[in-house]
Structure 1
């Protein structure tokens, strides 16, 4: 019966630190034919879900959003960077919410570096800003006279240089808001908030689960990602039996190659279902 429509697979997405969910519209566009895709526009900005040393309230924000938006349906958990680690943490806390996960380049700090970072966090040392991107984040310009000026200022920044043009335009539109001090625009996610999230990445957390999560999980990383270069995905595979795929590009690859990344995500989801 050709007139019967099949129900789309529920898919929940969580964005990277400092990059609002609406910045991923082009990436989403390559997934929406196959998935009922929903996402949180902003993580870390809600007073009911503050940023703390263990991200517990941010994890709760993702869990509550899944429960609210999907009404008991199991979802494919998909996240990028900070959002992918949150999604993985959710899967350990509430595995019944997920059918499977695809985590894109999570800042999953493991092994010796995690011990160093944990000590710096506990002692509240300034070294935390050097061990994480927090220090670089705090040095970023966060005020421009217009979105046009912001575009020119940021387009060749190392973070955004390789963004797909449409993705970068979406970031400019969704990631900037009128400044409170008067004319001009500033970051929707303040750089102080972005830095605090980086500072509080749960360096100790990797030792807590001690076993692979219940839902199937696949990790995607990139050959120029600092996490891949430091061996984090390789250690995650060894310790947690989470396989990974390697793509060309940097840490922001979903916004650098949205179509290729979406196709890979779909292929991985199909592969997980077939296993």
Structure 2
């Protein structure tokens, strides 16, 4: 059975870039370790677009960010010295751990125009890894196994599923895959994890006899084993083992509310290093009562 249907909520990130926010949701904060899920675009950007489209340097703790594109290009720069464009069917996996800052720039779009479309997810870290040293990894090609069978063209983004394992480093059991499905095709939803979900990025699918269109995440019960495409569809399948409660404030994730407070204070006081190649501007801490007494309940 389908335990819950979550409709994306459109949010503006400024500069004309809208996202469909899926996780966290009021009645479902996480799916396995996945604590954040945004559907970016689709958006056509003309050459010469304003720089307000860019995401200026900002901080993270306690998570890994996962950037995956269907189309377009994003330039990533971070405080551990990484500078790496991510392109369709590649993965930028940044582990914040004890703290990292990064920017996401649409430099190709400004230069020649672009069609931006993709997913950004956050994966919470287990408590034992929340304060790990920050790092960055880029993967493509053979690192991300692909298959093509009976109308389903798939690619594993992270973790293990479909008898395959991606080279992306992870800190807890999970799977994350991209399926392009022809009309009428059926794909397995990987079993063996406590929490699983499907996100319909384009087209529509049928699960348990019900049809669901683009912009919906379906939280699945343990008995759901397959998804079928009612029309050509792009589907993300994801899941993993739950890590326990996580608290979020702005771009920070932690099992400790006090750690969130410390991260916010560090950013506000300028104690978190900016990317060397992109240190001329940053996103200020939102004006929020989080830092003011009384303590969070």
Q: Which has the higher contact order (CA 8 A, sep 6+)?
A: 1
> Which TM-score tier does this pair reach, normalised by the shorter chain?
under 0.3
Which has the larger strand fraction?
2
Which has the larger helix fraction?
1
TM-score, with length taken from structure 2: 0.23
